[in-house]
Amino acid sequence: MSEMDFYMETLENLPAVINSGESMKERVATLVYDFMQLQHLYDSAIEVVKTYLNIIDSEFSMKFQRNPIHNIDSRLKSPQSIIGKLQKKGLPVSIETAQKNLLDIAGIRVTCCYINDIYAVADMLCRRDDFTVIKQKDYIKNPKPSGYRSFHIIVSVPVYLSTRKTYAPVEIQIRTIAMDFWASLEHQLKYKTASAITPEISEELRNCADKIAETDIQMQDIFMKIHDID
């Protein structure tokens, strides 16, 4: 389906977004423009966070000759999945509802080398006086039943537009390379072949996650020994 067909179908099926007196063409144009503004705002918020992460990573490199961050990825939720998530939650489809209720429109995934780096990066994000922490979840200390491990933090960040300052939330998932390896493969397996995931397979995946977590701790210990850190 083309993007235009998608907007047309969305409007046809959503009486809530229809303003009486406007033609379908006008309504589509308004919806498309609203989404463009939303995407620009959240894309800019991603850039604000990514710039800061790159600054702290290069500062570490300059001071300690090593990079705590291995990789930074980002993604913006598509209009299709924003609308899909609002409908799943039984909420009216509008830009305002999306902004108020969806905190993961802008997402950043930070892959760190060691577990301690995760907490150092999370701490630096929390200490920025212009960022507000909305939510944080430590799935490393409290892994999900699936075995998933990661540190999630949602921060509201300032975005300076041409005529005003505004804020947008960004979901940041911080994990080690090992945690990312597991999460990426597990996601792929579940997404592509959901029906083949029996309780036994889930158990196997959980075991793999536990083994990976042990290795992560071991690698952290080796790092500390080599650098003479207690």
Residues annotated catalytic, as ranges = 171
Whole-number minimum distance, CB 187 to ligand 0O2, in Å?
Answer: 4
Between 6 and 181, CB nearer to ligand 0O2: 181
Residue pair 123/58 in contact by the 8 Å Cβ criterion: no
Nearest to 50 by CA among 42, 39, 62, 61: 42
Give the CA distances from residue 166 to residues 28, 118, 151, 169, in Å, rounded to whole numbers and listed in that order: 26, 28, 26, 11
- Where do the DSSP E strands lie in the chain? 69-76, 106-112, 132-138, 151-160, 165-176
Whole-number minimum distance, CB 112 to ligand 0O2, in Å?
Answer: 16
Between 15 and 199, CB nearer to ligand 0O2: 199
Amino acid at 95: I
Binding stretches for ligand 0O2 (CB under 6 A): 104, 107, 137, 144, 146, 148, 152, 183, 186-187
Whole-number minimum distance, CB 185 to ligand 0O2, in Å?
Answer: 8
Between 35 and 148, CB nearer to ligand 0O2: 148
Q: What angle do CA 53, 191, 11 make, to 5 degrees?
A: 85
